[in-house]
Structure 1
Amino acid sequence: MNQLKLGIPKGSLQESTIRLFRQSGWRISLSDRNYFPEINDVDIHCAICRAQEMSRYVENGTFDVGLTGKDWIMENDSDVMVITDLIYSKVSQRPARWVLAVPLDSPVRDVKDLAGKKIATELVNFTKRYFAAAGVEVNVEFSWGATEAKVISGLCDAIVEVTETGTTMRANGLRIVTELMQSNTQLIANKTAWDDPWKREKIEQIALLLQGALRADDLVCLKMNVSEANINGVIELLPSLNAPTIAHLYQSNWLSVETVVAKQVVRELIPKLIKRGAEGIIEYSLNKVI
């Protein structure tokens, strides 16, 4: 029987990944001691793997497909197929930024100022390649954690660390010298698996539905009743994917109007719709928009 081997990232991406798959139609069931979660699809076999290692296991065929950050693909220099970008933070749509940072009172102002200095980071291989490309010789050490504290306490001269806004770094007395890269979550596939027609179709199905779920997360559907006399004024306000759906109510000069809009405009839009004569406005969430 054909079966697709799917890698689920352990750690910070795990919960959002499982939630995204659930919204896409796949229920993944985890237990605390089980690294092989159940999924409601007999064609898929799941396993848990750290995001930092995922691309290596996808490359060597342990997994046919998996989810990990672009940063760890680059760190491992993995030869994999990137199927699609998946940005699924519920709080922020900003990508993660890997930055070079130093203490506020450091004399370092430029990458070249770190020649001969010590840098701590979890992203060792990428950092080495970055400084080599810049022609600056540095000593890059792997950091097991608490990386920001190491540069503050003088255990290293600079760090390469991940951030979104840089607020936490500033609060901890650090200054960003430069940004090295931006990263987001990606769905990746093993190249041999991608060449297999059955596995490729299954991977494409997963990518399509995950993207549909992500798209739906930023949208809602609005449904309302509008009289024929007020319809033009209401339609002028309504954004939509193509055009609003309009249907006559039974034996009435009123219309039912339905459209899909971005979540962030709803609070401003609904009062305007009421002023234009819309009534019985209903807002509901969407699972997928394909």
Structure 2
Amino acid sequence: MPIKKEKQTSRHSVPPCNSSGIKKIKFGFPSGTLRNQTIKLFEAAGYEVKLEEDLYQIWIDDPEIKCVLSRAQEIAKFVKDGILDAGITESAFIIDQKIDVVEAVKLNYGSKTWRNGKIVIAIPEDSKIRLVKDLKGKKILARVPELTKNYLKKHKITAEVEYTDRPGEPKIPALGDALVEFTNTGAALFAHGLKILDTLIETSPTLIVNKKVWADKDKREKIENLGVLLMGARVAQEYVGLMLHASNDMMETVFKILPALKKPTVTHLRGENWFDILTVAHKKEIRNLIPKLKEIGCTDIVEFPLNKVIL
């Protein structure tokens, strides 16, 4: 679904006034590389999102939530300090900054895909560094400096670590020997002639909440409900629904090969020896599953997309 961009401000761009009595939740919406995928997630969860790039503002059609577009790294600190009530940041920033917040939901997606990103150490393709121990005495530019220092300490390596903001890839090798950076597909690293030496941790966009806000019953309920919708939309990216007809003689074989989050729903077709079966399957399984079902005689096989899967 295309992202809606407003070129001019308008009163109609802003959601209507909150009539529920709940004080608006100030929500940190990540900018930068996470922005577009987060917009897709909110839209899949049922929200209309309006982005006004020129004014660096974003809205969703919920009068109880006021979105503030900000860097994920800043969101972690703003939520901790109570400037924001809640927001989405990278779990790596929570660790790096030792942020004391409630981690409500790990949403498990990256900047361009529906899978987690990683924090990696990258070096130039022609670097003489071959092993992690070769980082000794080198200069390392890092998006997450404290996490990097802990990694080096674990490996008993002494090196110079300097913080860098995005984009970090063009700065190597001119300003440093190695780079600690976020990556999802590795494409940006490879495009700048870098290769991955090692992975520090996996990182996930995470819905975080200020601790005092979490103690507020109304706000907590609102944020928890948002988390349920976002996670349901996220899980649905990996699954599809499947409907089919099978005769009584086929049922035992069908049940053996059908994967499901829970047992399939089975409905007897009136006046016939056939059954309607409804189930959910992982997208990666469906291409092998449908031919097997067809082979054993199942008919009217229909695959359909899912909007949300609430586990």
Bin the TM-score by the shorter chain.
Answer: 0.7 to 0.9
Report the TM-score, using the length of structure 2 for normalisation.
0.81
Task: Flag the 1:243–1:71 CA change in 2: closer, same or farther, 3 A.
Answer: same
Aligned length: 289
Cα gap change, 1:271 to 1:155, in 2 (>3 Å)? same
Amino acid at match of 1:229: D
Q: Report Cα offsets for 1:156-182 as digits up to 9, x if no partner.
A: 222222334657656755454433222
Match of 1:7 in 2: 28
In the other structure, the counterpart of 2:301 is 281
Distance 1:18 1:169 in 2: 24
Match of 2:42 in 1: 21
Describe the SS at the equivalent of 1:269: helix
1:219 equivalent in structure 2? 239
Which residue is equivalent to 1:82? 103
Measure, in 1, the Cα distance between the counterparts of 2:40 and 2:246: 36
Distance in 2 separating the partners of 1:15 and 1:149: 23
Counterpart of 2:246 in 1: which secondary structure?
strand
Contact 2:25 2:64 in 1 (8 A): yes
Normalised by the length of structure 1, the TM-score is 0.87
2:231 partner letter: Q
The structure 2 residue matched to 1:121, chosen from 138, 142, 148, is 142
Partner SS state of residue 282, structure 1: strand
Secondary structure at 2:52 match in 1:
coil
1:262-277 alignment, distance < 5 Å = 262-277=282-297
> In 2, distance between residues paired with 1:164 and 1:37?
24
The answer for the alignment partner of 1:204 in structure 2 is: 224
- 1:94-243 correspondence runs (5 A): 94-131=115-152, 136-145=157-166, 147-152=168-173, 154-164=174-184, 169=189, 174-243=194-263
Residue 248, structure 1, aligned to residue 268, structure 2: yes
Change in Cα spacing, 1:187 to 1:108, as seen in structure 2 (3 Å) is same
Cα offset, 1:280, TM superposition:
1.2
Write out per-residue CA displacement over residues 67-121 of structure 1, whole angstroms, 9 at most, x where no aligned residue. Answer: 1111222233322111121113496555322222334554445555434332222
Question: What amino acid does structure 1 have at the position aligned with 2:291?
Answer: P
Q: Tell me the CA shift for residue 228 of structure 1.
A: 2.8
Change (3 A) 1:26 1:148: closer
Partners of 1:223 and 1:283 within 8 A in 2: yes
2:41/2:233 contact within 8 Å kept: yes
Correspondence for 2:15: none
Pair 257,177 (structure 1): closer, same or farther in 2 beyond 3 Å:
closer
Answer yes or no: is the 8 Å Cα contact 2:111–2:184 preserved in 1.
no
Amino acid at match of 1:245: T
Distance 1:149 1:90 in 2: 19
Tell me, in whole angstroms, the C-alpha distance in 2 between the residues paired with 1:50 and 1:41.
Answer: 22
Residues 42-73 of structure 1: per-residue CA shift (max 9 Å, x gap): 22111111112110111111211111111222
**Percentage of matched positions with identical amino acids:** 39
CA-based RMSD of the aligned residues comes to 2.6
**Worse-superposed segment, 177-186 or 33-42:** 33-42
Whether the aligned pair in 2 keeps the contact of 1:83 and 1:207 (CA below 8 Å) is yes
Q: 5+ unaligned residues in a row in structure 1: which ranges?
A: none
CA separation of 1:129 and 1:89: change in aligned 2, threshold 3 A: closer
The unaligned stretches of length 5 or more in structure 2 are 1-20
- Which shows bigger deviation, 201-210 or 235-244? 235-244
Deviation, 1:273, is 1.0
Kept in 1: contact 2:50–2:58 (CA 8 A): yes
- Cα deviation, residue 219, structure 1: 1.1
